[in-house]
Amino acid sequence: MAHEFLIEARGLSRRYGSHVAANDISLSLRKGEILGLLGPNGAGKSTTMKMLAGVLAPSAGTVMINGVSLADDPKRAKQSLGYLPELPPVYPELTVDEYLRYCASLHGLRRSERAAALQRAKQSCGLSEVSRRLIGNLSKGYQQRVGIAQAIIHRPAVVILDEPTVGLDPIQILEIRRLIKTLGQEHGVILSSHILPEIQAVCARVMIIHRGRLVYAEPLATAGSEGFRTIIAGFLRMPAFDVLLSLPGVGEIETLTGSQIRITVDNAGDDPRAAIAEAAATHGWGLIELHAERRTLEEIFVELSTGDAHALQEAA
């Protein structure tokens, strides 16, 4: 059974009394895709993920997982789901093996499949050498890995990871990122974080949630590579502006410092950089710097979460 979308959520809302934790959030996830949910603390990321995982019922909206409605047939829908909540849901008094075996049988894995599944999950999460240790005695990083192993042991189509690298040291963070990337090849992964580099490192697509609303949803490639509107240029000898303005694509010019100018292009598709370089060479301006000013994800993030998010969404 192949469905186009592994997760299809429409109009998800969640209210706690008068407080709206999530408002009209729609998202979809395809196979082999890693989607990042980004947002400042308390933006509604965890609430959204809880609703996707079926732990929390939405006040409004529907979730389809692998084509099965989470509200109508929760058991079947949850079979294709692996979920790591903010706190890894582990039992400190069990050993890693005992715990993972329990998780495997909870997800309906047959006795014969369990041993292999256990091996695989331990191997991908680097847990093989701590199999027989009590989870309560493991470090936070290892407990987090046990939490991830729990989410992937039954090879679900969808893996939902809520802040998977919180509390880990830099080396462990790199390891977990590598693991998430490998997971993204076979499964669909949704991952949340309030740390930008994290999302940039692993996700193909990003959604920014702010005050319970989805305010930005684009492939990561758009934020950064294409569609620049301004160029920064630096010269040893300041050029004559009328020569520059006569070049195709150049709109306005603004002096930044003694040697630097910002050039706004006429249309988003124009790229006058080559022409500027040629002109600089023929007129002997001494070109020392020339690059497109890119809108990074960080700028978008800061802009969205500090400015009026609603207005930005209307404009988008």
Residues that bind other proteins (CB under 8 A): 53-57, 74-79, 81, 83, 85-94, 98, 102-103, 105-108, 150
- Nearest distance from residue 57's CB to other proteins, in Å? 5
- Nearest distance from residue 116's CB to other proteins, in Å? 18
Q: Which is nearer to other proteins, 151 or 304 (CB)?
A: 151
Q: Are 17 and 1 in contact (CB under 8 A)?
A: no
Q: Which is nearer to other proteins, 53 or 199 (CB)?
A: 53
Q: Which is nearer to other proteins, 93 or 186 (CB)?
A: 93
Cα–Cα distance, 39 to 51 (Å, whole number): 17
**Cα three-residue angle 227-231-234, rounded to 5 degrees:** 160
**Cα three-residue angle 114-119-123, rounded to 5 degrees:** 145
Contacts of 307 (CB under 8 A, 6+ apart): none
Residue 19, CB-side half-sphere exposure with 13 Å CA sphere: 7
Q: Which is nearer to other proteins, 86 or 303 (CB)?
A: 86
* Span between the terminal Cα atoms of the chain, in Å: 36
- Nearest distance from residue 205's CB to other proteins, in Å? 23
Q: What are the DSSP calls for 165-202, one per residue?
A: TTT--HHHHHHHHHHHHHHHHHSEEEEEES-HHHHHHH
Q: Which is nearer to other proteins, 3 or 273 (CB)?
A: 3
- Nearest distance from residue 189's CB to other proteins, in Å? 16
Q: Which is nearer to other proteins, 6 or 231 (CB)?
A: 6
Check the CA dihedral 243-244-245-249 and report its sign: positive
Tokens of 264: 């706004």
Q: Which is nearer to other proteins, 91 or 289 (CB)?
A: 91
- Nearest distance from residue 76's CB to other proteins, in Å? 7
- Nearest distance from residue 184's CB to other proteins, in Å? 20
Residue 167, CB-side half-sphere exposure with 13 Å CA sphere: 13
- Nearest distance from residue 93's CB to other proteins, in Å? 5
Please give the C-alpha separations between residue 171 and each of 41, 125, 167, 174, 298, in angstroms, as whole numbers. 24, 14, 12, 5, 23
